[in-house]
Structure 1
Amino acid sequence: MKLRRVVITGLGALTPIGNNLSEYWNGLKNGVSGAAPITYFDASKFKTQFACEIKNFDVTDFIDKKEARRQDKFTQYAIVASDEAITDSNLNIDSIDKDRIGVIWGAGIGGLETFQEEVMAFAKGDGTPRFNPFFIPKMIADIAPGLISIKHGFRGPNFTTVSACASSANAMIDALNYIRLGYADIIVTGGSEAAVTEAGIGGFNAMHALSTRNDDPKTASRPFDANRDGFVLGEGAGALILEEYEHAKARGAKIYAELAGGGLSADAYHMTAPHPEGLGAKNVMFNCLKDAGIDINDVDAINMHGTSTPLGDVAESKAIKEVFGKHAYDININSTKSMTGHLLGAAGAVEAIASILAIEHGVVPPTINHETYDEKIDPKMNFTLNKAQKRDVKVAISNTFGFGGHNACVLFKKLD
């Protein structure tokens, strides 16, 4: 069976460094940090008092106030980003077979703020169960694709993938394969997360996962730097319109790039720590290259998972050297988490968009905040430090890994 080709015809982004696609790209190429003191709650007693929040965002500019009250932030973000991607794709929704359009979304946690609010309100009461009737529908991780499909009438495959920080990359790979195999012509995919809450910050602090650089939040996310001390929690959403190539051509759609392949693997090692030799990371990149039919020497750019954690950055760097050998030194490698922070379940989507835009514009965004080389990370590798670099990017890879040892890798290439 010959697999159908899949291309990207629309993009949407709501991130800590830009509330739409254009703003996001400007933030990326200019090396803007989205980290700042937390405004959503009083974080003065927390070990970490900063995050990468969405800024200057009023949901009622996009969603009716009454409807917005029935949605957790992660769903609101999903709807805003997916609406931008649908508009960007120039889809004439009324003239397309909606049975052939699906929504496959990623979320690692889902409605954490809703869960926190409802349970805390109950705990403060007299024990009488007074829960909001929208508590469960607001909280569950699968509600985002459900509401996107309801809004637009899309009746194709519809579900959420949950694999921690690999969730939206998993969603993209599922979407890729559903279209390849003929189950849909178009799928709205991506991911969203809104975990900058007391429970989110407190929980990750308890694991010692977050940076505590409270005196200088903007430089706290510093992948590959010797003095990195953990990731910076971010929030937001990224959305992509995946479309069968002939279908896109027939309607004269703009095509950003081709999603040529995806890889999956498991570390099978530890609940939260990566395999120290990057075994799972190595396997997932091999699997992705094989699926895409791409030679290692054809890869121009890699957006690493690169969370700014002491163990993760080392393991992933080792894996890249093992997979690509000498060619590893010719690749532009970067971590856009240095700017956006870690968007958990939305990370794969917003970072895939960064890779696609690198192909589109011939610019690889920087890894900012790097000051001191880590002796455990090869300094000869080009981590695109502190300043964007121009490059004709024909093939780009984006890595995303999650707690539990989940690994996902997607490969984009300039359309032939």
Structure 2
Amino acid sequence: MKKLDDIVITGYGIKAPGVLNKPSFLNVLNNGICTQTILKSVNEDQNNIVAGIIDDDFLELNGRNYKRYPRSVRLAISAAMDALEMSGLKDYDPKRVAVIIGTSAGAVLEIEQYSAAYVNYRSFPIHGVSIVDTHTLSTSVAEALGLCGPAFTLTTGCTASIDAVLMGKLLLENGAVDACIVGGSDAPLGSWTINGFKKLRALSTETSIDQAGVPFSSEHQGFVLAEGAGVIVLERRESAQAREQRIYGKIERVMSRNEGQKLLGSDETGRHMLEIFQEVVGNTKPSYVNSQALGMALNDRIERFILMETFSSDVPITSIKGMIGHTFGAAGAMQIISSLLSMEYGFIPPTIKTKGDGFEDIPIVYETRHQAVESVCITTHGSSGNNACLLLTHA
């Protein structure tokens, strides 16, 4: 049997709070900068919250107006354009390039905006149907990039962009396509999402930026909601080398499973996540774990559990959520891109805000650690029992 070719990353693009390109993301990660801000409530009877907000509106991209497109779609298109430029995919047959983008909240902002108009034919927007069609996300990215290969939109919540990588890797390995544009995008900063996670007591209600969304801390509870998009270009190593394209990293292994839990439930023992984590790392001892830890008690306890059961205190762990917040379906892609920068420039980004109260037994990276980084394990969890892990190695 012919050995499967390596699946490698040849480009990426990111739009996150305080981050619009590679240099700005590198600066945030290397210096441990919190880019979160205060989101003012639209309701007088509710408090403001800490959130990760992107200032740009992305209404015009490459000279074209995208005002009728949902914000999550505009974010994805902008990030995908950057990824395509970095990867130099212009010479590929557009029918042989797939687009796979994941999301959690989809176009929830626009659905809120037009919800009062749905009963009135005259005021109902002409693009109303496309707003509620989540697949607009991937088809719009494909159209904007001039691609007409397979297009898939994954709505698997917080694991969506890791799931997109998994699907892209499979398509490349079986020869169905020559390249994949994969990632995630979410713009969830609306009343529906905010009120929903407040009801679940999952969202931080702290009004101090330093005290909101604190990873690995028993003294704090709740995550910081953020918007953003992360897009990655996957290719077979042989193809990338043939066109002398720079390779930034290799997808060594990636796995995703669902625990089969009830609505909004998850396995509190962490055993399901442990199995996936251990299968993905295999015999590799990664340079560090890029954790989803975001300030939710159960989530962060499971992160500690899988680390200690697998490596004890031998492998450092960090989380970038204290810097940019939790971007739902885009989170995994952002963790991948941060790990690519970590490997390229030789550092482990810090976990900011926290003192590690209640997590003193694990080797949390509190200050930027400059060292060679050969491999990173990335973890993500999703609502109703989704778990996904990815092992990224040096090119």
Q: TM-score, normalised by structure 2?
A: 0.94
Q: Is the 8 A contact 2:60 2:67 kept in 1?
A: no
SS of residue matched to 1:116: helix
Query: Could you tell me how far 1:128 is from its partner in structure 2?
Result: 5.5
Q: Structure 1 pair 98/372, CA: closer, same or farther in 2 (3 Å)?
A: closer
Structure 2 unaligned regions, length at least 5: none
Partner of 2:283: 295
Change (3 A) 1:70 1:53: same
Per the alignment, residue 408 of structure 1 pairs with 388
C-alpha separation in 1, matches of 2:250 and 2:135: 27
Amino acid of the structure 1 residue aligned with 2:25: Y
Is the 8 Å Cα contact of residues 356 and 364 (structure 2) preserved in structure 1? no
Deviation, 1:266, is 2.3
- Please name the residue that 2:50 is paired with: 50
Give how far 1:204 is off: 1.2
Determine helix, strand or coil for the equivalent of 1:280: helix
Structure-2 residue corresponding to 1:7 = 8
Matched residue, 2:149 = 156
Q: Once the 2 structures are TM-superposed, how far is the Cα of residue 239 of structure 1 from its aligned partner?
A: 0.7
State yes or no: 1:318 paired with 2:313: no
Shift of 1:122: 3.9
Out of 387-396 and 77-86, give the one that drifted further: 387-396
Q: Across the two proteins, how many residue pairs are aligned to each other? A: 394
| Paired residue secondary structure (1:392) | coil
Q: Distance in 2 between matches of 1:238 and 1:149?
A: 15
2:222 maps to what in 1? 230
Match of 2:275 in 1: 283
Q: Distance in 2 between matches of 1:272 and 1:21?
A: 35
Give the aligned residue type for 1:16: P
3-state DSSP of counterpart to 2:245: coil
C-alpha distance after superposition, 1:294-324 (max 9, x if no partner): 414x2111111112111110122112222x2
| Aligned residues of 1:17 and 1:339 also touching (Cα < 8 A) | no
Q: Show the counterpart of 1:74.
A: 72
Q: 2:233 aligns with which of 241, 254, 257?
A: 241
Identity %, equivalent residues: 27
Secondary structure in 1 matching 2:88:
coil
Q: Deviations over 1:225-255 (max 9, x none)?
A: 1212100100010010101110000001011
Report 1:8-407 matches (<5 A). Answer: 8-38=9-39, 42=42, 44-47=44-47, 49-55=49-55, 57-62=56-61, 64=63, 67-91=65-89, 93=90, 95-122=91-118, 130-214=123-207, 216-289=208-281, 294-296=282-284, 298-322=285-309, 324=310, 327-374=311-358, 377=359, 379-385=360-366, 387-407=367-387
Q: Give secondary structure in 2 for the equivalent of 1:229.
A: coil
Code of the residue aligned with 1:160 in structure 2: it is T
Once the two structures are TM-superposed, the CA of residue 140 in structure 1 deviates from its matched residue by 2.4
Root-mean-square deviation (CA, aligned residues, Å) is: 1.8
- C-alpha offsets along residues 4-42 of structure 1, whole Å, 9 cap, x if unaligned? 211000011100131112211211121111221115x53
Q: CA deviation at 1:61?
A: 5.0
Question: Once the two structures are superposed, what CA deviation does each residue of 1:50-93 show, in whole Å capped at 9, x if it has no partner?
Answer: 211113x141452556x3122000000000001011111123x1
Q: Distance in 2 between matches of 1:68 and 1:312?
A: 37
Q: Secondary structure at the match of 2:9?
A: strand
Contact between 1:274 and 1:315, CA under 8 Å: does it hold in 2?
A: no
**Aligned to 1:247, what secondary structure does the other structure show?**
helix
Q: Which amino acid aligns with 1:59?
A: F
**SS of 1:329 mapped into structure 2:** coil
CA distance in 2, matches of 1:328, 1:273: 27
Q: Which runs of 4+ in 1 moved over 4 A?
A: none
Distance, in Å, in 2 between the alignment partners of 1:47 and 1:63 is: 38
Summarize the Cα distance change of 1:208–1:384 in structure 2 as closer, same or farther, 3 Å threshold.
same
- Is the Cα contact below 8 Å between 2:39 and 2:48 reproduced in 1? no
Distance 2:57 2:107 in 1: 18
